[in-house]
């Protein structure tokens, strides 16, 4: 059910296939309006004042059609054909201080720089400080390349229609797109196009994880060993363990450095805790090892780097590597038929590839492919805005959930633990891509749920509902 990320030409191809099947443009426009309205209602309150800026093309038609589906909002539609002539009307509307603006000025068909009148009009909307929901693409943004054509609306939310457009995921587009939502139910025929990158949707995880059978026991669901926690960073081990427990593997064992054993052990109940010592032998029941959270103490690197390399290169267990331990991994091949996964953020990826962070962000797809290739075709979770999941070849999945509230110390430790807890379970490692995608999506989705209730929330709250 994931959605391909399309170019403008591919989107036009999909539309033409729809018209050829006998579906009318007016029918699709009406359903597009309904899809946008659903998300607008989710972001607003009853009786909110909404100003709709509707251009003369189909993008404007989509915006106008939202009115039908928002009967309890106070809506004013401003039709704009000539920005210079409409500027005074815009000023008058802004003086009424609407709660939201719906931007339907230009769609994906815009392919030339805006003239001065349009630039002034859009900049006035941006200066108003009123949150904007853009229909399909922020007006003025090139939907293929992600760059403004003179200027562009700075949206809080963009509801793109049918499928995400390639330009909306470019780094240059981030200041304009805001949160990207996809209106999928707009009446188009099934998409005839397959692309390398896929947009994750909640429906990808219907019935996942699978229901547990009554005859099973804790041995059925695997055992994750977590090597984490050093002096000054013991909390990371606790958060990773709690994340793993939320995934419900059969057993969780944490191995912190000896000097932080007590604070780690005192904060955990269901997880077993043993101080790590040289030549540690892990139990035969272990199915997956997570190494990395909270191992930033330089003395720890001296003790564990060689062990991390051995686990990565030789172990028959599944191995997930996060945080500081990423710097300890040797390039090259890994054993076949076992899972290897790394979870770098852009800074860690840059260190591994020996390139600047901006180069990683400018080509996240290429960076992920290169990381996987260098480290034995491992799975890569390249974190950040729209976390990317994949390997050196095959499809890549773009995560659709999450918000800036996750930009706090410890959220990555929770995710790493949750991934470890899922991949410890033999039934779930049969399709590791789905387990990884689910972990990332669920982590972000629960953060979105908290964000919808309050602008500030804690990792304890996230763990409670993960």
What residues have CB less than 8 Å from 139, skipping those under 6 apart? 55, 59, 103, 104, 105, 106, 110, 122, 152, 153
Q: What pLDDT is attached to residue 302?
A: 82
Tell me how far apart the alpha carbons of residues 37 and 55 are, in angstroms, rounded to a whole number: 17
**Statement to judge: residues 101 and 180 lie in one domain:** yes
211 domain residue, yes or no: no
What residues have CB less than 8 Å from 431, skipping those under 6 apart? none
Residue with tokens 């038929």: 337
Q: What pLDDT is attached to residue 432?
A: 97
407 domain residue, yes or no: yes
For the sheet containing 74-79, what is the strand order? 74-79, 49-54, 100-104, 132-135, 157-161, 179-183
**Statement to judge: residues 19 and 65 lie in one domain:** yes
Residue range of the domain that includes 260? 218-465
**Statement to judge: residues 157 and 242 lie in one domain:** no
**Statement to judge: residues 60 and 115 lie in one domain:** yes
Q: Coil, strand, or helix at residue 323?
A: helix
Q: What pLDDT is attached to residue 278?
A: 84
The domain that holds 72 is classified in CATH as 3.40.50.10260
**Statement to judge: residues 48 and 176 lie in one domain:** yes
**Statement to judge: residues 252 and 344 lie in one domain:** yes
**Statement to judge: residues 328 and 436 lie in one domain:** yes
Q: Give the domain-ending residue among 199, 232, 260.
A: 199
Q: Coil, strand, or helix at residue 95?
A: helix
pLDDT tens string, the chain, 466 residues long: the values are: 789 999 999 999 999 999 999 999 999 999 999 999 999 999 999 999 999 999 999 999 999 999 999 999 999 999 999 999 999 999 999 999 999 999 999 999 999 999 999 999 999 999 999 999 999 999 999 999 999 999 999 999 999 999 999 999 999 999 999 999 999 999 999 999 999 999 999 999 999 999 999 999 999 999 999 999 999 999 999 999 999 999 999 999 999 999 999 999 999 999 999 999 988 899 999 999 999 999 999 988 888 999 999 999 999 999 999 999 999 999 999 998 899 999 999 999 999 999 999 999 999 999 999 999 999 999 999 999 999 999 999 999 999 999 999 999 999 999 999 999 999 999 999 999 999 999 999 999 999 999 999 889 999 999 999 9
- Number of domains within the chain: 2
**Statement to judge: residues 396 and 339 lie in one domain:** yes
Q: Coil, strand, or helix at residue 404?
A: helix
207 domain residue, yes or no: no
61 domain residue, yes or no: yes
**Statement to judge: residues 320 and 418 lie in one domain:** yes
**Statement to judge: residues 430 and 386 lie in one domain:** yes
**Statement to judge: residues 223 and 284 lie in one domain:** yes
204 domain residue, yes or no: no
* pTM, rounded to two decimals: 0.95
Q: What pLDDT is attached to residue 2?
A: 86
Q: What pLDDT is attached to residue 301?
A: 85
Two tokens, residue 462: 């996230």
Tally of residues, the chain: 466
265 domain residue, yes or no: yes
Q: What pLDDT is attached to residue 391?
A: 98
246 domain residue, yes or no: yes
**Statement to judge: residues 182 and 253 lie in one domain:** no
The domain that holds 317 is classified in CATH as 3.40.1190.20
């Amino acid at each position: 059910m994931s959605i391909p990320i399309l170019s403008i030409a591919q989107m036009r191809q999909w539309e033409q296939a729809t018209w050829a099947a006998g579906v009318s443009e007016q029918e699709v426009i009406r359903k597009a309006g309904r899809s946008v309205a659903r998300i607008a209602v989710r972001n607003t309150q009853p009786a909110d004042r909404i100003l709709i800026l509707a251009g003369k093309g189909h993008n404007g038609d989509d915006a106008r059609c939202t009115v039908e589906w928002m009967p309890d909002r106070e809506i004013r539609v401003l039709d704009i054909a000539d920005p210079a002539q409409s500027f005074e009307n815009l000023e008058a509307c802004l003086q009424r201080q609407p709660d939201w603006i719906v931007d339907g000025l230009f769609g994906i068909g815009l392919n030339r720089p805006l003239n001065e009148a349009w630039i002034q009009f859009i900049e006035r909307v941006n200066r108003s400080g009123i949150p904007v929901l853009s229909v399909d693409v922020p007006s003025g943004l090139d939907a293929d390349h992600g760059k403004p054509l003179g200027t562009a609306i700075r949206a809080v939310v963009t509801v793109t229609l049918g499928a995400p457009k390639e330009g909306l995921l470019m780094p240059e587009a981030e200041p304009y797109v805001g949160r990207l939502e996809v209106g999928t139910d707009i009446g188009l025929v099934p998409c005839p196009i397959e692309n390398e990158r896929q947009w994750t949707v909640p429906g990808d995880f219907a019935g996942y994880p699978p229901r547990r059978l009554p005859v099973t026991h804790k041995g059925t669901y695997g055992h994750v060993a977590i090597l984490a926690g050093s002096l000054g960073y013991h909390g990371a081990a606790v958060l990773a363990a709690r994340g793993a427990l939320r995934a419900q593997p059969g057993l969780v064992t944490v191995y912190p450095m000896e000097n932080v054993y007590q604070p780690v052990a005192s904060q955990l109940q269901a997880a077993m805790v043993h101080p790590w010592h040289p030549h540690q032998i892990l139990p035969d029941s272990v199915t997956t090892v997570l190494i990395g959270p909270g191992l930033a103490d330089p003395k720890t690197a001296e003790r564990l780097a060689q062990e991390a390399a051995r686990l990565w290169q030789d172990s028959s267990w599944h191995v997930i590597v996060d945080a500081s331990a990423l710097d300890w991994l040797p390039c090259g091949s890994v054993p076949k038929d076992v899972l290897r996964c790394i979870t770098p953020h852009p800074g860690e990826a840059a260190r591994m590839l020996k390139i600047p962070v901006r180069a990683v962000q400018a080509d996240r797809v290429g960076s992920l492919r290169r990381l996987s290739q260098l480290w034995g075709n491992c799975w890569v979770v390249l974190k950040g805005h729209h976390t990317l999941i994949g390997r050196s070849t095959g499809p890549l999945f773009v995560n659709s959930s999450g918000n800036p509230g996750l930009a706090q110390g410890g959220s990555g430790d929770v995710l790493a633990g949750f991934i470890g807890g899922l991949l410890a379970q033999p039934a779930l490692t049969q399709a590791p891509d789905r387990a990884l995608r689910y972990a990332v999506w669920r982590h972000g989705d629960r953060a979105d749920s908290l964000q919808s209730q309050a602008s500030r929330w804690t990792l304890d709250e996230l763990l409670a509902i993960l």
